[in-house]
Chains A and B, each alone.
Chain A
């Protein structure tokens, strides 16, 4: 049944990598979440007070005294989005450009498959992977709320955080997909997307420490994802709209360009 069409085949091809990524991202998130009872102690609070605010802000860890602040900083603020970005950039670059560079795209396109259909189905499979990661992460954290002493974070807060995480990953997946689909170059897709990810991180956490660069935060996908503290305040519609809108635009550009250009070979 997985061999029926391009979309299920793309999922089938990810049958080993997707569980691997899901496991890795969940393991990192849970490991850090498990430290929370230890971090939440007077000794730790004193130790952290010794760090300058700028350093903590640079690691998205402004408020380590609450469960929301700790999770939003150490877990959802740094390592998880980093891993998710890498995971989705790789998936997006592979969707079209990876196949094209390997020389295996010709064969499928010589079949009765439309360019747009193929691109959308491959991108859809990458997005499905992102959804799986976010759902598993959400389910595990909700299930482990009590043992990890994270009850101050509501289920709604976890839901909002993981929805925004999924959109954040989707945006980087769509970016790598768009560059790859438009140019056919996997390395360009990886390079541009990784560069954007680094700039986005700096624009959210480091540049704003210079007063004149405060505006950069507003154009950073990291800010769209984290701004307004979804763990505490639920879905942040501005960020959701910015991430979803950018994803749709990038996907559309990639699909249209891919439909018009020559396939390398």
Chain B
């Protein structure tokens, strides 16, 4: 299927002594989407990514990445992929410029100007020895090597763990730019917040299986938000108790607090009868929904 950048069918990976890595993974990542691959540590995220890169081989099942088989066409495939691990480790006895030149050459050459431009954006000094760099600065070199050849597919394994907020923001921009230019992004994480700003869809993996796939938009729509309304003058709390999805109401003087699931429309209409001095609606906490999926027993599968 041409519109799938990554597809796996019934992918199983068993490590020695029967330890399960993957237990029948069916994954579909569409071309040009940003896919957040979420799950707790040990769920099989890295196992999946290592199979996509042909660092390890599946016990059974099929994998296609950009229409190719990672095992048979690994070299041709990896030419079109950019990969970044959260714990980016390289030999420290070289400068970032030397490292990036070498890695670029393995890909047939990346213009020095492109490397310089990315280093400038991320504020990385290319001529310092890597061993003298902080973890954040090292990770910058990792980010550059993943993006510098403008790959068709970016495979990012917990990419922003340990990055400062500035770099996280710049990273989000790089991901969004790559998507605008046509790239597909497959990003794993164990926290929702790492992917919610960029992902179109998220897949949740547990115990080596995909337990849910949803668009971030629908996750958001079903998310519970905490809402605070402050009124000029009196109001009747009963008006708000009738709003569907609005619960846990508390009243403190002119302030009404509650938790809202679903659309805000009914609540806003109920509030419009009064003079609203302030309305605070917090970003939906996707993390909460995420934990809700974790807590489910394995048998309770949600159709993808």
B291 at the interface (CB under 8 A from A): no
Considering only CB atoms, which chain A residue lies closest to B53 in the complex? A110
B70-98 near A? 1/0 per residue, CB < 8 Å? 00001110110101010111110100001
Stretch binding the partner chain, chosen from B100-108, B217-225, B227-235, B249-257: B100-108
Most buried by A among B56, B101, B106: B106
Q: Is the CB of B55 within 8 A of A107?
A: no
Known contacts A104-B91, A110-B81, A113-B75; A262/B106 CB under 8 A: no
Considering only CB atoms, which chain B residue lies closest to A106 in the complex? B55
A5 at the interface (CB under 8 A from B): yes
Which 4 interchain pairs have the tightest Cβ spacing?
A: A262-B56, A112-B79, A110-B83, A3-B102
Q: Is the CB of A3 within 8 A of B89?
A: no
Q: Is the CB of A13 within 8 A of B91?
A: yes
A residues apposed to B, CB below 8 Å: 3-6, 9, 13, 102-104, 106-114, 262-263, 265
B263 at the interface (CB under 8 A from A): no
Considering only CB atoms, which chain B residue lies closest to A113 in the complex? B106
A-chain residues with CB within 8 Å of residue B81 when the two chains form the complex: 110
Q: Is the CB of A5 within 8 A of B79?
A: no
- Cα distance A4–B108 in the bound complex, in angstroms: 9
- Cα distance A121–B81 in the bound complex, in angstroms: 23
- Cα distance A114–B98 in the bound complex, in angstroms: 22
Considering only CB atoms, which chain A residue lies closest to B15 in the complex? A262
Q: Is the CB of A111 within 8 A of B103?
A: yes
Q: Is the CB of A3 within 8 A of B105?
A: yes
Q: Is the CB of B55 within 8 A of A5?
A: no
B30 at the interface (CB under 8 A from A): no
Q: Is the CB of B87 within 8 A of A111?
A: no
- Cα distance A110–B154 in the bound complex, in angstroms: 11
B-chain residues with CB within 8 Å of residue A110 when the two chains form the complex: 53, 55, 78, 81, 83
**Closest CB of chain B to A71's CB: distance in Å?**
37
